Amino acid sequence: MASAGARLARLYISCSGVILRRSLSHAGMEDMGVNTSRSCLERLEFDNVALKKLPLDPSTEPGIRQVRGACFSRVQPTPLKNPEFVAVSGPTLALLGLDADEVLKDPLGPEYLSGSKVMPGSEPAAHCYCGHQFGQFAGQLGDGAACYLGENPTGRWEIQVKGAGLTPYSRQADGRKVLRSSIREFLCSEAVFGLGVPTTRAGSVVTSDSRVMRDVFYDGNPRMERCSVVLRIAPSFIRFGSFEIFKRADEFTGRQGPSYGHDEIRTQMLDYVIESFYPEIHQNHSDRIERNTAFFREVTLRTARLVAQWQCVGFCHGVLNTDNMSILGLTLDYGPFGFMDRFDPDFICNASDTSGRYSYQAQPAICRWNLARLAEALVPDLPPDRAKQVLDEYLPLYNDFYLSNMRKKLGLLKKEEPEDEILLTELMQTMHNTGADFSNTFRSLSQISCPTQQEGEDESEAIKQATELLLQQCASLEELKAANRPTMDPRELAMLLSMAQSNPALFQMISDRKTVARQLERLSRLKELMDTTVEQLRAKQTEDWSRWIKKYRQRLACECESGLDVKELQEERVRVMNNNNPYVVLRNYIAQNAVEAAENGDFSEVGPLQALCSFYSLVRDTDFFFLLKLMLLFS
């Protein structure tokens, strides 16, 4: 029997803007009509403002090199062999004034949207930037695989292809991306958009018969993979690291930005960013220092709001280096991302992040650290004392955004009580202790009703029913044991513990106390679980949830004290909670299923999955099931 994804992919359905392909292979001649003389993509407008406003590398020298005194370098994308569409996002293409149906039928579509053929008006270029990677300044990085195609004035969008070949910034890489990474970025950028989180967008994925060698598991067993390209759009892809190309020699690594000493270019780029993307700030401040401070304050606010939104949907970016932080407060560059399944504050989605620098719970602090590096890069246009004042505002801003979002997720709409933060902290601790599923637990909370005056003696029964509901989301004993196994070899851990006592200086060079403490905590928790029976675990989970639910219902009772109709309040509460607790998140195994099918030549899983994820904002409650039934009905 064909999979649901395959059945959904057989046709186009337009429902509240959702477009699904009936086939993601090349369109047949019968579908093209007679007017094939001019591609729809050849009519796409370009004005390429960034290349006019910012210095362009005059050199056309091929190969990898340091690029000094420039923000962009001209490049020529490397054509793919037999490019073909894997999937497109109709709503994203519509932002450029393109019709997805027309693009899919265009015989030149895969070539143009992979960079294999350059669209009229496009000026391919690669952006130069630096970055702090895992806390260390790495020097020049730049677009090693991404290629700026130009800017479309319809809504002001920068168009970029990722995986289009070598640039001066490719370092030891080949400038290519493969099918699995391209599909993951395509799906997640659209899924994050569907969750209402600011992000770059993905318009299409193109694959090909071109191949590159990749060691997928870093185990010494590389294999050939298909070269693929994802089309990305955003108002701008300028990032924190864009301003680090002017950095003086770093005191730890000795590296410096390639354009160190070109302070006039930093000022030029700062003017361009503020005038183009923060016009109100530019208009409202005649004094440059005041203007630049207001700009940094807005970037700080957007960053605090962004990471608060990540935390509230259980999203972990995985590589929050300064070169992956957008100057516009967008989610940028989807590498080893992950949505949490079981709640774990130490959740790490990047296998190379052995220290947990970019773990889920570390994201807010890391974003502030990155803002501090941006502030350093803007000196003297942004005086350090002014930057410090703004940075001091970050944590209160983040906490306000986070608590505001979490109150909606908990259905606390009418009052803001001081104990709300404690209630939330205890919820997270209970979820962690019981191994509860992050997304499903929050989604289930809307089924816990506000207590009524008539309830009386039935309160214990209501708590019991709510507890049974949430116990369904808890991990089993074996799952908890697996989740708490140390990720470090016991012999290595023993060696580090000994070294911490005998040679602290060497220990600091090899590891850190936080990492070791995390491993010891896992060991302790695992030992406790090994001595626990299934019945004992269930009893403990029941006790933990019953205790929290009682406090939660007491807090819900405060909502009813405003004299509002309890029924109306409950209906509003459920609506708001379901709008803020996603029914659909892009779990890793779901994305992996689509990737594996595509690698076997079946692209039918990608389009429907993207549509359901990216239109979460339109797919709430019964609407989700209605849409799903509608698609199945017509498949």
Compute the mean pLDDT over every residue in the chain, rounded to the nearest whole number: 89
Residues 523 and 363: their CA atoms lie apart, in Å, by: 25
Task: Between 269 and 9, name the one with better pLDDT.
Answer: 269
- The answer to whether position 428 is within a domain reads no
Local structure of residue 476 (DSSP, 8 states): P
Segment 542-551 mean pLDDT? 97
Segment 545-559 mean pLDDT? 94
pLDDT of residue 199: 98
Is the confidence at residue 46, as pLDDT, over 60?
A: yes
Read off the pLDDT band of 634 (50, 70, 90).
very low
Length of the chain: 635
pLDDT of residue 266: 98
Read off the pLDDT band of 615 (50, 70, 90).
low
- The H or E element spanning position 113 is none
Number of domains in the chain: 1
pLDDT of residue 616: 57
pLDDT of residue 27: 40
Which of 415-419, 464-468, 582-586 is most confident?
Answer: 464-468
pLDDT of residue 516: 85
Which active-site residues does the annotation give?
323
SS3 38: coil
pLDDT of residue 563: 67
pLDDT of residue 129: 98
- The answer to whether position 24 is within a domain reads no
Local structure of residue 618 (DSSP, 8 states): G
With 0-12 / 13-18 / 19 or more C-beta atoms within 10 angstroms meaning exposed / middle / buried, residue 623 is middle
Residues 327 and 374: their CA atoms lie apart, in Å, by: 9
Is the confidence at residue 24, as pLDDT, over 70?
A: no
pLDDT of residue 119: 97
- The answer to whether position 113 is within a domain reads yes
**With a threshold of 0.85, does the pTM exceed it?**
yes
Residues 387 and 493: their CA atoms lie apart, in Å, by: 40
The separation between CA 149 and the C-alpha centre of its own chain, rounded to angstroms, equals 23
pLDDT of residue 65: 95
Q: What counts of helices (H) and strands (E) characterise the chain?
A: 25, 13
pLDDT of residue 20: 39
3-state percent breakdown (helix, strand, coil) of the chain, nearest 5? 50, 10, 40
CB atoms within 10 A of CB 284: 11
- The answer to whether position 482 is within a domain reads no
Segment 331-350 mean pLDDT? 95
Q: Which of 82-91, 374-383, 462-471, 581-590 has the lowest mean pLDDT?
A: 581-590
What pairs with residue 234 in β-bridges? 158
> How large is the greatest C-alpha to C-alpha distance in the chain, in angstroms?
81
Does residue 380 have a cis bond before it (omega within 30 degrees)? yes
Is the confidence at residue 505, as pLDDT, over 50?
A: yes
316, 347 in Cβ contact below 8 A? yes
Pairing verdict, β 130-133 and 136-140 = antiparallel
- The answer to whether position 66 is within a domain reads yes
CA angle in degrees (0–180, nearest 5) for 588-591-597 = 135
pLDDT of residue 37: 60
Pairing verdict, β 72-74 and 56-57 = parallel
- The answer to whether position 400 is within a domain reads no
What pairs with residue 303 in β-bridges? none
Segment 80-91 mean pLDDT? 96
- The answer to whether position 288 is within a domain reads no
Is the confidence at residue 4, as pLDDT, over 60?
A: no
Q: Which two tokens stand for residue 34?
A: 């007679």
Phi, psi (rounded to 5 degrees) for 20 = -120, 140
pLDDT tens per residue across span 344-371 = 999 999 988 988 999 999 999 999 999 9
Q: Which two tokens stand for residue 534?
A: 């299934």
Is the confidence at residue 632, as pLDDT, over 70?
A: no
Q: Which of 80-94, 291-305, 478-492, 501-515 has the lowest mean pLDDT?
A: 501-515
**DSSP letter for each residue of 302-368:** HHHHHHHHHHHHTEE-S---GGGBBTTS-B---SS-EE-SB--TT----TT-TT-TT-TTTHHHHHH
pLDDT of residue 490: 79
Domain hosting 148: range is: 40-271
Residues 535 and 614: their CA atoms lie apart, in Å, by: 41
- The answer to whether position 128 is within a domain reads yes
Which are the contacts of 453, defined by CB distance < 8 A and separation ≥ 6?
none
Read off the pLDDT band of 18 (50, 70, 90).
very low
604, 597 in Cβ contact below 8 A? yes
